[in-house]
Structure 1
């Protein structure tokens, strides 16, 4: 088995491609060692000690290194953990834990209360996010989660390599906001949740 790596726009993150499906559907982000306890793979990566985020996408894993950590030293350790996991066909999640979920329970407070009369606008926003934005963001080792729409403002959360990326604000403001404003005139602003 061979695991490819790709750089991401976030210099602290690397995208690892095992050549196999990681998540059958959805994505999952682990931003603390405690959250990683739900996945033996994420926990093993966090146990290296130099990791601040692990993100599972459809066919990739993005790992974010702690500030000041060299990928020269960390990359071979992460590759070894990934090889062990995929060769042994170990489960991705602990039995009984939630697998791929789009809005983890601990993040529900980040959702924006929506109005029924905005349902058509929300449907248009979600369609654009699914078809145009998410594939591009996944290519950079991350994901974007819709968190709500109210009074012309779309709330989105960046995940994976995108969550700490220096260019994430530009992506939200110049890329995604421009796209949404163009196709959905009711959108006046995009904010990070």
Structure 2
């Protein structure tokens, strides 16, 4: 769908929402659309800044994926050059020093990208971190 057609479709959907659910729902939906536009606008602005400031010969995808927001947008649209397992491994590497300082570790027990309820990652905490609620939450936040 072209940009103008998409904009018109959004406006039509917002009007339908206002008719079906009332003006308060329309106001909330308008705010949602503004927030999404702002979010994507910031992602695009960052991408332009990053690419403009990148050293000559730098890999553009490496430049873009080094930024958390741009990387998240690439993931959201299945455009990230690294697969899920690689990204999970990198996230676990970020949390391992914390876990290691508590005589613990984490390993992937399973990654099911085809699960009916959506991609499912199962982790196993090792050492003193096994069963520790704060370790579990730290790993969860890092991965998510």
Q: How high is the TM-score relative to the length of structure 2?
A: 0.36
More strand by share: 1
Q: Give the structure with higher Rg (CA).
A: 2
More helix by share: 2
Q: How high is the TM-score relative to the length of structure 1?
A: 0.27
